[in-house]
A and B are shown apart, each in its own frame.
Chain A
Amino acid sequence: MYGKRSRFLTIMLTLGLAFFYIPMILLVIYSFNYSKLVPVWGGWSLRWYKELFQSAEVWSAVSLSLQIAVVNATFATALGTLAGLAMVRFGRFKGRTLFGGMLVAPLVMPEVITGLSLLVFFISLNQLIGWPAERGFATITIAHITFSMAYVAVTIQARLTGVGQTLEEAAADLGAKPFKVLTAITIPQLTPALISGWLLAFTLSLDDLVIASFVTGPGANTLPILIFSRIRLGLRPDINALATIMILVIAICVAIAAIIMFRQQRADLLDRQMAEREES
């Protein structure tokens, strides 16, 4: 009985993992396909990678996406942190519930609505003050900040609630003025949340297709917009190569994060053991 159930679980696990990863593996394999037609195997080759690196269009999309993602992540982290601090550390101020609701609204708002409303906003703004004359880097970045800031604020709120206020009180008790408490105690305490918030905002921006499509202008193609527009004309092997590179980059990032976390855990364990040994 027990053996059967365990075999059933193994099969389900295998099927589940296969469902997730076989498409990706296929994508990687086909990126090395010499043939111009994706489903037809024409032998191993790096042809599409070469073509990819020679394409100015791809490079400019990569560069635009990265620039937007970095600026977005930085601003979203700064603003989201301030919003999180206001929610958790400023007690019950007037309109706190409304503010909290408005803060998380972008999380549940359909992207199409967010994109459309921002487009309408930018067009009216242009008519009113003449800016933005042209949509592109600035408008996409602003649009991304508005929604990714909400994710950062939620991350920061959770961390602030988790660490409690005692350390900040201790610092104030020792004579630290409010700004000093923020820089010397609160921010260092928030570091893990700040890093994960920044990375979250970065990936959200790098991923986004829908909102960017609404608020972009002629000539400003982010990577997702480029991929999507090329795929519309049919499967293309150079896009497979691009996707493979993206998978590789993400895999490396995850691996680095895992190694850092593992080392941290081991250091914590050693510290605890050392303290215990000395006590006895």
Chain B
Amino acid sequence: MTVSATVSAAPWLEQEEQQPLVQIRGVTKKYGEVTAVDNVDLDIYKGELFCLLGGSGCGKSTLLRMLAGFEDLNAGTITIDGVDMADVPAYERPTNMMFQSYALFPHMTVEKNVAFGLEQDHVPKFDIADRVHEILKLVELEDFKKRKPKQLSGGQRQRVALARALVKRPKLLLLDEPLAALDKKLRKQTQFELANIQDKVGVTFIVVTHDQEEAMTLSSRMAVMDAGRFKQIGTPTEIYEFPESRFVADFIGSANIFEGRVIEDGADHVRVETEFCEVFIDHGHSVKEGSKIWVALRPEKIRLDKADAATEGANQTSAVIDDVGYLGETSIYKVRLPNGEVFDVTMPNQSRPTHATTRLTWEDKVNISWDPSSAMLLHS
């Protein structure tokens, strides 16, 4: 069952040996005047858990529905396992979908719901019973197989939907906001469960979600979508640590974004001049000297020290605390820079703030600084 052992951990990096399972080429979908999906290309490899992340109306669900065969393409091709899907109807595609609303058949028991797909393929009866039992065991619902969907809780329904979509062992499983209907605590727990199940069955998953935390936790790779296009495709770490645009830097996590001008572009470093200090980055970027550029800094990568006098040098500046928000595990500080810009800085609350004197508070003069590896250059 564990196919994952034979699948590379990073198949997208071995393009020589690996033939992509899904090839999306120049796919466009229009609804009247509105372009929902705009000429996108994407390769997804066997065994991946790929997330399509974006706000509502960005085209992620439309793309998923085109993969499932519910929507026609206006242009482009979708190839799954080497077969062009253009003339393949939904009921003949090697894909299964888990719907956001779960779409369980209300007039059938859990068992019947799960068996439905196998019956369509005329799998022998005893085989159906075995496979239904096996998959219900995987999602821990063997005791509920005689129940109707109405008699289940939200979390149980979600698992029935997953079992029903997995039981046919599709080449590709499409999941539309699989966790959106669960409450927050259950969602966090289920995120890991879903990733574990994917690992066990070795099926390629494509997950559509608007929740960036969900995408980060689940995915091997993800694509950030906006207005029908991919803004960036990469691993969660790549997307978080090396965003290419202001949209991505801001959409994934939070970022302090400010303008600067490149004053030196070395092979292994870049220097950027800004209104409040010089930013030194200890790795190369292909940027033109003298060009204007955007710089982003993650709130958690900025250090905050109490200091009355300003210190000189790169990657640091004096600031004043404007506001403090205590969030429990961390505190968020709004600090005002000399040029009036306000940065967010987050710091973990490692010790209990028992001594009021050691705590940073409103109107404190501070020095903010960051590592040479922390600042991120954005091209657009």
Contact = CB atoms under 8 A, between A and B. Distances in A.
B68 interface: yes
A94 interface: no
Given A185-B105, A274-B151, A279-B154, A177 B99 contact: no
Interface string A152-183: 00000000000000110111111111101000
Contact of A175 (B101, B105, B121, B148): B121
Given A175-B120, A185-B105, A275-B151, 20 more contacts: A166-B103, A167-B103, A169-B99, A171-B105, A173-B93, A173-B95, A174-B91, A174-B116, A174-B164, A175-B117, A175-B168, A177-B120, A268-B150, A271-B148, A271-B150, A272-B150, A275-B156, A276-B153, A278-B153, A279-B155
Interface in A231-280: 268, 271-272, 274-276, 278-279
A271 B103 contact: no
A173 B91 contact: yes
Contacts of A275: 150-153, 156
Contact of B116 (A176, A268, A279): A176
Contact of A188 (B90, B107, B153): B107
A120 B94 CA distance: 57
**Most chain A beta carbons < 10 A, residue from B89, B103, B168:** B103
Interface string B144-178: 00001011111110000000100010000000000
Contacts of B89: 172
Interface of A: 166-167, 169-178, 180, 184-185, 188-189, 268, 271-272, 274-276, 278-279
A178 B154 CA distance: 29
B96 interface: yes
A170 B90 contact: no
B70 interface: yes
Interface in B45-70: 68-70
A173 B68 contact: yes
Contact of B101 (A166, A173, A184, A185): A166
A121 B55 CA distance: 59
B97 interface: yes
B107 A169 contact: no
Q: 4 shortest A-B CB distances, which residue pairs? A: A175-B120, A174-B117, A170-B103, A279-B153
B3 to A, nearest CB: 22
Contacts, number: 71
Contacts of B148: 271
Contacts of B93: 173
Contacts of A178: 91
Nearest to A166: B103
A174 B89 CA distance: 12
B91 A176 contact: yes
A274 B150 CA distance: 10
**Most chain B beta carbons < 10 A, residue from A173, A180, A268:** A173
B151 A172 contact: no
A184 B89 CA distance: 19
A172 B88 CA distance: 12
Contacts of A167: 103, 105
A177 B151 CA distance: 29
Nearest to A191: B107
22 contacts: A170-B103, A172-B69, A172-B90, A173-B69, A173-B93, A174-B91, A174-B117, A174-B168, A175-B91, A175-B120, A175-B168, A176-B91, A176-B120, A184-B116, A188-B107, A189-B107, A268-B150, A271-B150, A272-B150, A274-B151, A275-B150, A279-B154
B91 A169 contact: no
A166 B69 CA distance: 13
Contacts of B90: 169, 172-173
A276 B156 CA distance: 11
B151 to A, nearest CB: 4
Contacts of B68: 169, 173
A188 B112 CA distance: 14
Contacts of A170: 97, 99, 103, 105
Contacts of B155: 279
Contacts of A176: 91, 116, 120
Contacts of A189: 107
